[in-house]
A and B are shown apart, each in its own frame.
Chain A
Amino acid sequence: MADLTTYFAGIRSNNPFWLASAPPTDKAYNVERAFRAGWGGVVWKTLGEDPPIVNVSSRYGAVSLGGAAMAGFNNIELITDRPLSVNLREITQIKRDWPDRAMVVSLMVPCNETAWTKILAQVEQTGADGVELNFGCPHGMSERGMGAAVGQVPDYIEMITRWCKSHSRMPVIVKLTPNVTDIVQAARAAKDGGADAVSLINTITSITNVDLDSMSPCPSVDGRGTHGGYCGPAVKPIALRMVGEIAREPALRGLPISGIGGISSWRDAAEFIALGAGNVQVCTAAMHYGFRIIDDMISGLSNWMDGKSYSRIADFQGLAVPNFVHWDDLNLNYKSIARIDQDLCIRCGLCYAACEDTSHQSIATSNGDGARHYNVIEAECVGCNLCAHVCPVAACITMIPVHTGLPALTWKEHPNNPSSPHFTGTTDRA
């Protein structure tokens, strides 16, 4: 049986699944329930200075897709709205009662050293295992010079991280905002400031929808809306890319990454870890289904690792990173074509419509014997995968590699590339 124990930024937890800083980790009551359910750790919802902030009603927007609720999720809630002393007391109590679980405290105070020094000392007294600096919240706090307003300026990231490292013995995790052009710069700033780890992504600036009756962006607060932070399954691809960017950056090698963004299952978690994350944080899935999802996450990851003979998380951590390359390192001589399993095909024709209308006209339709048939025209198929993605039947359309007999050839070496040493054409410059 695989050992799921992780030591992330020096913080031990019995599994790699932490609850991210958010409403599920706002109170002792919730965190107790989470730990009883089996979560490995929590990042306590962000603490700020007293007096506490004030929240609005309502707070969440969501994107449902084809009847599936919360494919994407957005919030306009701010940091904790409870007094600092209450939070600190509860954190102390929880850490005392659950010593084997990771307790990290998220922090966000104004951009001055005194404020950070003061709150760090208070958190240290709780016995918490570490702090996470919230440089990501894209709404409400950023307008006050905190959250994403810090995370979007690498110099600020570095400066505050350095304050925290110099005023606390605790590991410092810097939570990064995805609302930047180059995530690597932000991660580098955190590292330069002495961060023990980074966590990402925080939420993406968003408006989920507009109420067409009231003409209010949603979630609507008395007929008006504001941009919020987008998360949930829809953001996972964005998060994976950013995690991968940091993981493959040579200058950041060894910087622990806590993967966040749309993780709903053990498989999502395994993908983040394969792309370099040392652990993962979950929020939307827990808010959607409750804490009991942790059961399948733990057993699913463990069973998958057993099947692959990975005995520890570290055994597969980062294994996909070397394969995350730039486009011009891809083999242009690789070819695959679609194959439709006629026994599995239910004759819905979605592959045909997609290919015929929007791709390469590589699927033929026939109705000779009274039943519809869809077949790939192999000579036309460019292997784009679209048909396989639109097919509602699992494994009905598969992509089959074709042996071309040609050696691997990247764009860097391609004769059509003016920058290639093998360039065969002429350029204006030439």
Chain B
Amino acid sequence: MSAQKIINFTPCPCQASQNGNYLAFWVKPDVLVNKFIDEPDGICNIFRCRAGHVIPLARKDIGTWMADIDDHFRESHPPLTSAQAVTEANRCYFCYDAPCTEACPTDIDVPGFIRGIASGNMAGAAIKILQENIFGGSCARVCPTEILCEHACVWTKAGGPAVQIGALQRVATDWQMAQPTHPFIRAPATGKHIAIIGAGPAGLSAAHGMARRGHDVTVYDTKPKPGGLNEYGIAAYKLVDDFAAREIEFLLGIGGITLEHNKTLGDDLSLDDLARNFDAVFLALGQAAVNMAGVTGEHLPSVRNAVDFIAELRQAPDKSALKIPRRVLVIGGGNTAIDAATQAKLLGAEDVTILYRKGRAQMSATAIEQNWALTHHVVIHFHAAPVRIESETGELCVVTESRRYPADLVLRAVGQKFHPLDGLEIENGRIKIDQNHATSHPKIFAGGDCVPGLDLTVRAVQDGKCAARAIHEFLGCD
């Protein structure tokens, strides 16, 4: 610090820095930016706070700063205290035919579970949630409640903020997960065996639903860990403390579910074999492929898929070891674009800009998501459609019709798509199903992001739940 102290220091406006006890409060940006961008590879890494303010750390303080990168990725929405939960629960009007329940893709009896929280009946509250949505814990954290249940809350018409349904759902599901026993009891064994491909929310929701009904279930997944997007795709600050893995451990508490990892349909598994060897098959393949931006230069080495960037970040044991360049451009307008941009900023990138080809209203990221990025000093440029990506001058650059955006890393977040599959009827690029989640193959069912519909965790869970019911009937049970 002594060298910098002679400069005209200004306080770092970054909240994370102010919360820390390290020597990051004093910054003279011009001088220090020059210092660090002079580094050979142009990588600024840990020497910038999340708002892009440069942190003048003495070497002895670097350890403190590295520990603090985890603080950047602390939970975006901390849980309610039990007192807050009761106060909030008491705001619920206990509506008849409640609009929030109607808005919930998994039909959770929202007033019912909230009443349990208000009365101190946590077990009753939790079961009401989990019987409709076994991923109630992660949905409480990742659901865009502002466009679903909380958007429908009558309080928004009564002049107040909506009841914090997501936060209350978390209180009840967290309570349940802290209990030593699983809340559901398996029905007697049926002797039926079902294969599920994909251990994401759709696949495991179906697995739990079928295991509950007494069937044996084997779940195959191409990845080394279960969880799908909950494990690999959701922003780190939405599911902290390894929640995705802990929730699956809880879910597996029902028994009767076997997980098989690193098994890929087409390579290690074939639909025909599965259909032959199991009583039924449920495909919950997700969307393994990504859309291309469709411009030249997309294959340059510093152009990456945002989902890969997020997956790498989610799986990194030490986020401070991840290198992030100074200037990051994100192409896209969905939640993946928001998550990638914000996390790039939190890792220490100095300038992060989202380029979206349409206007604010068309952005599929909700207003709350947009604001989340903006308050983390991510810049969003609307009506900015890339026409090409170039590096002719040695500097990577995304070019739109009106201007050039120099960058050190470009993240592509223009949507994912279903990886083509032979042998089943396809509709709008995804597996065609009927109202019972049945595909064109008599023993194969499908749900989640690999079938047409909203790409939301909660909708995938609903698909799994409904498919389990349909397969149960298909097997001639009940």
Given known contacts A67-B87, A346-B158, A347-B157, is B93 in contact with A392 (CB within 8 Å)? yes
Among A52-60, A93-101, A349-357, the stretch in contact with B: A349-357
Q: Report the count of interface residues on B (CB-CB < 8 A).
A: 16
Q: State in angstroms the CA–CA spacing of A365 and B86 once bound together.
A: 31
With beta carbons under 8 angstroms apart, the residue of A66, A353, A372 that contacts B99 is: A372
Task: Let me know if B157 and A67 touch, CB within 8 A.
Answer: no
With beta carbons under 8 angstroms apart, the residue of A66, A349, A352, A392 that contacts B158 is: A392
Task: Let me know if B87 and A348 touch, CB within 8 A.
Answer: no
Q: State in angstroms the CA–CA spacing of A392 and B87 once bound together.
A: 17
- Smallest CB–CB gap between B102 and chain A, Å? 9
- Any B CB within 8 A of the CB of A393: yes
- Set of chain A residues within 8 Å of B93, measured between Cβ atoms: 348, 350, 392
- Set of chain B residues within 8 Å of A352, measured between Cβ atoms: 96-97
Given known contacts A347-B154, A348-B154, is B86 in contact with A67 (CB within 8 Å)? yes
Given known contacts A392-B158, A393-B158, is B87 in contact with A350 (CB within 8 Å)? no
Task: Let me know if A365 and B158 touch, CB within 8 A.
Answer: no
- Find the B residue at minimum CB distance from A66: B90
Q: State in angstroms the CA–CA spacing of A201 and B67 once bound together.
A: 65
- Any A CB within 8 A of the CB of B9: no
Given known contacts A392-B158, A393-B158, is B90 in contact with A348 (CB within 8 Å)? no
Give the most central of B91, B95, B98: most A CB within 10 Å.
B95
Task: Let me know if B99 and A347 touch, CB within 8 A.
Answer: yes
Task: Let me know if A348 and B95 touch, CB within 8 A.
Answer: yes
- Smallest CB–CB gap between B158 and chain A, Å? 5
Q: Which of A53-92 contact B (CB under 8 A)?
A: 66-67
Q: State in angstroms the CA–CA spacing of A72 and B466 once bound together.
A: 47
- Find the A residue at minimum CB distance from B87: A67
- Smallest CB–CB gap between A398 and chain B, Å? 17
Q: State in angstroms the CA–CA spacing of A146 and B234 once bound together.
A: 71
Task: Let me know if B96 and A346 touch, CB within 8 A.
Answer: no
- Find the B residue at minimum CB distance from A371: B99
- Smallest CB–CB gap between A42 and chain B, Å? 35
Q: State in angstroms the CA–CA spacing of A92 and B254 once bound together.
A: 75
Task: Let me know if B97 and A349 touch, CB within 8 A.
Answer: yes
- Set of chain A residues within 8 Å of B94, measured between Cβ atoms: 350
- Smallest CB–CB gap between A266 and chain B, Å? 25
Q: Report the count of interface residues on A (CB-CB < 8 A).
A: 13
- Smallest CB–CB gap between A28 and chain B, Å? 37
Q: State in angstroms the CA–CA spacing of A347 and B101 once bound together.
A: 13
Task: Let me know if B96 and A350 touch, CB within 8 A.
Answer: yes
Give the most central of A67, A348, A350, A353: most B CB within 10 Å.
A348
- Find the B residue at minimum CB distance from A351: B96
Task: Let me know if A346 and B157 touch, CB within 8 A.
Answer: yes
- Set of chain B residues within 8 Å of A350, measured between Cβ atoms: 93-96
- Smallest CB–CB gap between A106 and chain B, Å? 37
Task: Let me know if B97 and A372 touch, CB within 8 A.
Answer: yes
- Set of chain B residues within 8 Å of A392, measured between Cβ atoms: 93, 158
- Set of chain B residues within 8 Å of A365, measured between Cβ atoms: 97
Q: State in angstroms the CA–CA spacing of A352 and B93 once bound together.
A: 13
Task: Let me know if B86 and A348 touch, CB within 8 A.
Answer: no
Q: State in angstroms the CA–CA spacing of A352 and B94 once bound together.
A: 12
- Smallest CB–CB gap between A70 and chain B, Å? 15
- Smallest CB–CB gap between B96 and chain A, Å? 3
Q: State in angstroms the CA–CA spacing of A393 and B91 once bound together.
A: 13
- Smallest CB–CB gap between A160 and chain B, Å? 47
- Smallest CB–CB gap between B423 and chain A, Å? 40
Q: Which of B145-204 contact A (CB under 8 A)?
A: 154-155, 157-158
- Smallest CB–CB gap between A375 and chain B, Å? 14
Q: State in angstroms the CA–CA spacing of A392 and B90 once bound together.
A: 13
- Set of chain A residues within 8 Å of B155, measured between Cβ atoms: 346
Task: Let me know if A349 and B90 touch, CB within 8 A.
Answer: no
Q: State in angstroms the CA–CA spacing of A347 and B93 once bound together.
A: 11
Q: State in angstroms the CA–CA spacing of A346 and B90 once bound together.
A: 17
- Set of chain A residues within 8 Å of B157, measured between Cβ atoms: 346-347
Q: State in angstroms the CA–CA spacing of A67 and B115 once bound together.
A: 12
- Find the A residue at minimum CB distance from B156: A346
Q: State in angstroms the CA–CA spacing of A372 and B101 once bound together.
A: 13
- Smallest CB–CB gap between A218 and chain B, Å? 15
- Smallest CB–CB gap between B118 and chain A, Å? 8
Q: Which of B101-139 contact A (CB under 8 A)?
A: 118
Q: State in angstroms the CA–CA spacing of A350 and B158 once bound together.
A: 14
Q: Which of B78-98 contact A (CB under 8 A)?
A: 86-87, 90-91, 93-98
Q: State in angstroms the CA–CA spacing of A348 and B97 once bound together.
A: 8
- Set of chain A residues within 8 Å of B118, measured between Cβ atoms: 66-67
- Smallest CB–CB gap between A354 and chain B, Å? 9
Task: Let me know if A349 and B86 touch, CB within 8 A.
Answer: no
- Smallest CB–CB gap between A372 and chain B, Å? 7
- Find the A residue at minimum CB distance from B158: A346
- Find the B residue at minimum CB distance from A349: B96
Q: State in angstroms the CA–CA spacing of A348 and B156 once bound together.
A: 11
Contact with B along A324-352 (1 / 0, CB 8 A): 00000000000000000000001111101
Task: Let me know if B158 and A353 touch, CB within 8 A.
Answer: no
With beta carbons under 8 angstroms apart, the residue of A67, A349, A393 that contacts B95 is: A349
- Set of chain A residues within 8 Å of B97, measured between Cβ atoms: 349, 352, 365, 372
Q: State in angstroms the CA–CA spacing of A348 and B118 once bound together.
A: 18
Q: State in angstroms the CA–CA spacing of A393 and B157 once bound together.
A: 10
Q: State in angstroms the CA–CA spacing of A66 and B154 once bound together.
A: 18
Q: State in angstroms the CA–CA spacing of A346 and B93 once bound together.
A: 11
Q: State in angstroms the CA–CA spacing of A144 and B180 once bound together.
A: 53
- Set of chain B residues within 8 Å of A346, measured between Cβ atoms: 154-155, 157-158
- Smallest CB–CB gap between B47 and chain A, Å? 48
- Smallest CB–CB gap between B109 and chain A, Å? 14
Q: State in angstroms the CA–CA spacing of A348 and B91 once bound together.
A: 13
- Smallest CB–CB gap between B144 and chain A, Å? 20
- Set of chain A residues within 8 Å of B96, measured between Cβ atoms: 348-350, 352-353
Q: State in angstroms the CA–CA spacing of A393 and B96 once bound together.
A: 15
What are 15 A-B pairs with beta-carbon distances under 8 A?
A: A66-B118, A67-B86, A67-B90, A67-B118, A346-B154, A347-B154, A348-B95, A349-B98, A350-B93, A350-B94, A350-B95, A350-B96, A365-B97, A392-B93, A393-B158
Point out residues on A near B: beta carbons under 8 Å: 66-67, 346-350, 352-353, 365, 372, 392-393
- Give me 12 other A-B pairs in contact (C-beta within 8 A), A66-B118, A350-B94 excluded: A67-B87, A67-B91, A67-B118, A346-B154, A347-B99, A348-B93, A349-B95, A349-B96, A349-B98, A350-B93, A350-B96, A372-B97
Please list the 5 inter-chain residue pairs (A to B) with the smallest Cβ-Cβ separation, ordered nearest first. A349-B96, A67-B90, A353-B96, A346-B157, A346-B154
